[in-house]
Amino acid sequence: MTNIYQTIQRREGDLFLIAGPCVIESERHALMMAREIARITSRLDVPYVFKASYDKANRSSERSYRGLGMDEGLRILQRIKDEVGVSVVTDVHETDQVDAVAEVADIIQIPAFLCRQTDLLQAAAATGRTVNVKKGQFLAPWEIGNIIEKIEAMGSRKVMITERGTSFGYNNLVVDMRAFPMMREFGYPVVFDVTHSVQLPGGLGDATDGQSEYIEHLARAGVACGVDGLFLEVHDHPPTALSDAATQFALDKLEPLLETLLKIHELAKPKVAVGHN
């Protein structure tokens, strides 16, 4: 399988997609979602990475569903790679998880609340895998430069930066569209995490609320602003999702949305090269 970062570089200017359910709910569900999204992206010729978490460590409540755990989750992700033939990304929360995750994941993801954790960033970079850093809700776009320097210090040039909204008062996130061109100035692919950006963190008291009705609006705006890739949490039946039910995007809406976004991207695709050899 071609390394996904090499694919992104080779197809520079093409919009790519990172998508899947928030968390691995079951092996059967994860495989079904990977196959369905891969079918859609194959038809539309969109480079695709399957995403799902084996453990959601940052949950609002002790009662919240966290996932199947690292061992079982990585086994399922490996099966998805083998049987569906797609690259996979999942997040890590501690340095002692990194090596095991790197054996399976093509992209190691650093969660937003951990984006400044030097040891975690550098452990991920040392594996040689692509590192996708979620920009913290508390950071300005230009502060990403410090994070990139930490990764580059390990000799890695395989970095992606993901925007997921900025804290705007209590229980609210707002996306500053200026952030996309600002962060692209660092020379690495910029991804827009649309579904997390419509969250209302802690909005239900013991769970995160959200405004999924704005997903398509923000996705169109982000692509128009020149993002390199999109990150969408997608579920076949969002109301029953075990995590982030309020903000996952419905699977049956994915294909028409991507068709629209590809048309916008063709008009507004970035003219400045990204990525490093």
141, pLDDT greater than 70: yes
274 or 253: whose pLDDT is higher?
253
More confident residue, 276 or 30: 30
Cα–Cα distance, 31 to 49 (Å, whole number): 13
Residue 277 has pLDDT above 80, yes or no: no
Q: Pick 198 or 11 by higher pLDDT.
A: 198
CA distance readout (Å), 274 to 106, 143, 182: 19, 18, 13
Residue 127 has pLDDT above 60, yes or no: yes
Residue 2: pLDDT over 50: no
Distance of alpha carbon 12 from alpha carbon 10, whole angstroms: 6
Taking phi over 0 as left and psi of -120 to 50 as alpha, with beta for the rest, 166 belongs to: beta
Q: Is the pLDDT of residue 7 over 90?
A: no
Q: Where are the alpha helices (DSSP H) in the chain?
A: 4-10, 27-44, 70-84, 98-102, 118-126, 144-152, 179-184, 194-197, 215-224, 254-268
DSSP state of 23: B
Average pLDDT of the chain is 92
Tell me what pLDDT residue 274 has. Answer: 53
CATH of 15-268, one of 3.20.20.70, 3.40.50.300, 2.70.70.10, 3.40.640.10: 3.20.20.70
Q: Is the pLDDT of residue 275 over 60?
A: no
Q: In angstroms, rounded to a whole number, what is the distance separating the alpha carbons of residues 232 and 219?
A: 9
> Residues 94, 120: contact at Cβ < 8 Å?
yes
Q: Model confidence at 18, in pLDDT bands (50, 70, 90)?
A: very high
pLDDT bracket for residue 11 (50, 70, 90): confident
Residue (of 131, 160, 162) closest to 233 by Cα position: 162
Q: What is the pLDDT of residue 91?
A: 96
Output 29 or 275, whichever has higher pLDDT. Answer: 29
Q: What percentage of the chain reaches a pLDDT higher than 90?
A: 84
pLDDT of residue 216: 98
State pLDDT tens for residues 111-124.
Answer: 999 999 999 999 99
- Mean pLDDT value of segment 197-217: 88
pLDDT at 271: 58
Q: Are 90 and 77 in contact (CB under 8 A)?
A: yes
Q: Give the pLDDT score at 180.
A: 97
Q: What is the pLDDT of residues 151-204, one digit of tens each?
A: 999 999 999 999 999 999 999 999 999 999 999 999 999 999 999 999 998 877
> Whole-angstrom Cα distance, residue 46 to residue 50?
12
pLDDT over 90 (residue 38): yes
| More confident of the two residues 23 and 202 | 23
CB burial string 133-142: b at 16+ within 10 A, e below: bbbbbebebe
71-97 pLDDT, tens digit per residue, is 999 999 999 999 999 999 999 999 999
> Which tokens hold the place of 62?
């002790």
Q: Is pLDDT larger for residue 164 or for residue 59?
A: 164
Q: Determine the pLDDT at residue 204.
A: 75
